[in-house]
A and B are shown apart, each in its own frame.
Chain A
Amino acid sequence: MTEPLTLGETLLAASRSGHKLEIIEHDGSATSLSYADLTAEALSAGAAFAAEGVQPGAHVVILAPEVGAFIRSFFAIVMAGGVPVPLPPPGQAGDLGTFGRHSQQLILASRASVVVATPEIVDLVADIGLPPHVRLIPTNGLGDGRSLSAPITCAPDAPALLQFTSGSTAVPKGVVLTHRNLLTNIGAIAGPVGLRLTPSDMGVSWLPLYHDMGLIGMLLTAVYRGSPAVIMSPTLFLKRPTSWLEAISTHRATVSFAPNFAYELCVRRVKAAQIASLDLSSWRVAGCGAEPIRPETLSAFAERFQVAGFRASSFVPSYGLAEHSLAVSMSTRGVVVDRVDPLRLGRDSVAVPVNNGSAGVSLIGCGTAFPGHELQIAGEDRRPLTDRHVGRIFVRGPSVMAGYFENDAATQEALAEGWLDTGDLGYMADGSLFVCGRTKDVIIRHGRKYHPPDLESVIRAIDGLRPSGVVVFGIHRVGSADEVVAVLEARASATSDEVVDSVRRRVRETAGLELDRVVVTPPGTIPRTTSGKVRRAEARARLQAGTLLSGGRETRS
């Protein structure tokens, strides 16, 4: 049998494995879905998509909070030769307005003419006001008895997935990944320099399927290997973190990935009595990625779950980004900690090791580039730097995206001569990549990305506030979560606690983000360019140096 070159062929190959997915929904209900049945269903629903006019290469948006419905829709679109565009389903607690605006913006930006939504949310989606040329199809309305005999043929270099990179942004950036991009990256993750996965490895994932780590790293990787996997609802995990660990224990799982915050949540919320009934000894690969990794989190988790058979050597700290399909590098030799002098790191951009006992900051190694891929640390002049010098992380190779969808300016900014500018900062030491910050302004919280200009416009739009200037930035703290700061200029009469309260409230309500600091300053405080644009990096530097505030006041939570 020849190696599959497209997602459709990959599922077809998995259908002969005899393995299955176990699907657990938000209410804990579980069903089995064999790859053979999934293939048959996808070929049948794929015929329905084709009958609905979905042409090869057409973008089809998926809005599905339910795990089973998402997986079925995804592969039906794949079989029809379409390009799935997974979007986040409605969130929680009264943010329907945000869901509507956000989805409408992304559906338009994706140029999809078909949106599939599960029955439970199809009315919500209808309510957001889709343009007349976009058809909304409920997932239960697919299939009329006809079936495709095989996946519609796609070229390996044709787009396979359109993935929007963040929760909300003024100009949405859709990452276009080809079949070759995805299968190369998955092959590297699964391969001998990666996780050395075999068809008998058992994966467990609660990660959102509209996000790259859940979709590509867990679901598509399992399909690629034809290996069994348990795919759970993120809602179930967030309601009961122990459900993740129970699934690993029950199914004797070997592989599971999650962002740092998930491990933290388990330490905080899984009770001793629950730990007593867990057996985590089968867990060979405990991947950690998608946001900064904190050494304290990993050691706290390892310590707490050691009694359940968890081994700290199972941790696989990883680094990646959507523009590189998913993974750039992973540390398959466990947790490698580099303890360096924070002063030299911040001042001189050099990672100087400190002796045990001295004050130091701990960074976690994320391994090195996959075979056939290149990784380079470069200075502002784009010249490569030597070991232990902090610079921009550039990557090149077959996992790098084709580009951003219909956004040449952003594509040219990110890609030059095949090199992808990740926007992240790091250094190499002892053959391992250490990530220590970002050059871009993006703020990361709980694995989600937030763009400061969006948050600034949220604050500017608050009724009655009318600040003369607003700037929002994240302070990237090495080995810790971003601290999110909003600085606003208000007239003296308006510098009340109500201002601060209303800013916090609005950002919480519309973006779901908790501001760590709100600083109210007199007009003229925020540094600007000659054309009046706020200078975010300068504002951040001045705040950190203590030279921004003269007469300003601030609150912390």
Chain B
Amino acid sequence: MPLVVPAVASDVTLLATLTDVPRPLASDISLDDVTREVVALVVQVSGKPTQVALEAELLADLGFDSLRVLELVGELEDRFRIAVPLNTLTHIKTVGQIAAEVQRLIVDRESAG
């Protein structure tokens, strides 16, 4: 059953409200699971054992260069079976924004499928 989520959940506050209560996304994955897994993948790709805040910026705070960003996108696409559109990332800076975008893409996929 598709979940009603605003078309673009782009800010961290909104993300926090969405993730306060675990909700079923579809078959087997809840929104805060998504956020947790996104954060885990960010840590894995960054190669540094570090705490990652949702406000952290990939380039400025976490030392990502363009290669790492795309590595992360590949991991996210494989893990969540989504396709990140070509220009999405030009608008996105923080981990929270990425998690929100991934959630949006999952919802799109679920409602399309």
State the Cβ distance, B108 to closest chain A Cβ, in Å: 14
Interface string of A39-72 (1 = CB under 8 A from B): 0000000000000000000000000011000000
Most buried by B among A26, A508, A509: A508
In A423-461, which residues have CB < 8 Å from any B CB?
Answer: 446
CA distance A90 to B74 in the complex (A): 18
User: Contacts A94-B57, A513-B65 given; 17 further ones with Cβ under 8 A?
Assistant: A91-B66, A92-B90, A93-B59, A96-B90, A120-B86, A120-B87, A238-B70, A238-B71, A239-B71, A240-B74, A240-B78, A269-B71, A504-B63, A505-B61, A508-B60, A508-B65, A557-B63
In A67-105, which residues have CB < 8 Å from any B CB?
Answer: 90-96, 99
Most buried by B among A90, A124, A239: A239
B contact residues vs A (CB 8 Å cutoff): 57-61, 63-67, 69-71, 73-74, 77-78, 83, 86-87, 89-93
CA distance A93 to B70 in the complex (A): 9
A534 at the interface (CB under 8 A from B): no
Q: Would B92 and A94 count as touching, CB distance under 8 A? A: yes
A514 at the interface (CB under 8 A from B): yes
Instruction: Tell me the nearest residue of chain A to B47, going by C-beta.
Output: A268
Q: Would A514 and B90 count as touching, CB distance under 8 A? A: no
Interface string of A541-557 (1 = CB under 8 A from B): 00000000000000001
Q: Would A93 and B71 count as touching, CB distance under 8 A? A: no
Task: List the B side residues contacting A269 at CB < 8 Å.
Answer: 71
A417 at the interface (CB under 8 A from B): no
A-B pairs with beta carbons under 8 Å apart, 19 shown: A27-B83, A90-B90, A92-B90, A93-B92, A93-B93, A94-B57, A94-B91, A95-B59, A96-B91, A120-B87, A124-B90, A238-B67, A238-B74, A261-B67, A446-B65, A446-B67, A505-B59, A509-B59, A509-B60
Q: Would B71 and A92 count as touching, CB distance under 8 A? A: no
Task: List the A side residues contacting B77 at CB < 8 Å.
Answer: 239
List the 4 closest A-B pairs by CB distance, nearest first: A239-B74, A238-B70, A94-B93, A505-B60
The binding surface of chain B is classed by DSSP as helix
Q: Would B87 and A93 count as touching, CB distance under 8 A? A: no
CA distance A121 to B86 in the complex (A): 9
Instruction: Tell me the nearest residue of chain A to B57, going by C-beta.
Output: A94
A265 at the interface (CB under 8 A from B): yes
CA distance A95 to B90 in the complex (A): 6
Q: Would A92 and B66 count as touching, CB distance under 8 A? A: yes
A235 at the interface (CB under 8 A from B): yes
Task: List the B side residues contacting A124 at CB < 8 Å.
Answer: 87, 90
Task: List the B side residues contacting A265 at CB < 8 Å.
Answer: 67
Q: Would B59 and A512 count as touching, CB distance under 8 A? A: yes
Instruction: Tell me the nearest residue of chain B to A506, going by C-beta.
Output: B60
Instruction: Tell me the nearest residue of chain A to B76, going by C-beta.
Output: A239
CA distance A90 to B85 in the complex (A): 13
Instruction: Tell me the nearest residue of chain A to B48, going by C-beta.
Output: A557
CA distance A27 to B83 in the complex (A): 7
Interface string of A228-248 (1 = CB under 8 A from B): 000000010011100000000
CA distance A174 to B43 in the complex (A): 40
State the Cβ distance, A508 to closest chain B Cβ, in Å: 5
Task: List the B side residues contacting A96 at CB < 8 Å.
Answer: 90-91
Q: Would B71 and A99 count as touching, CB distance under 8 A? A: no
Task: List the A side residues contacting B92 at CB < 8 Å.
Answer: 93-94
In A103-125, which residues have CB < 8 Å from any B CB?
Answer: 120-121, 124
Instruction: Tell me the nearest residue of chain A to B75, going by C-beta.
Output: A239
Task: List the A side residues contacting B65 at CB < 8 Å.
Answer: 446, 508, 512-514
In A262-312, which residues have CB < 8 Å from any B CB?
Answer: 265, 269
CA distance A508 to B58 in the complex (A): 10
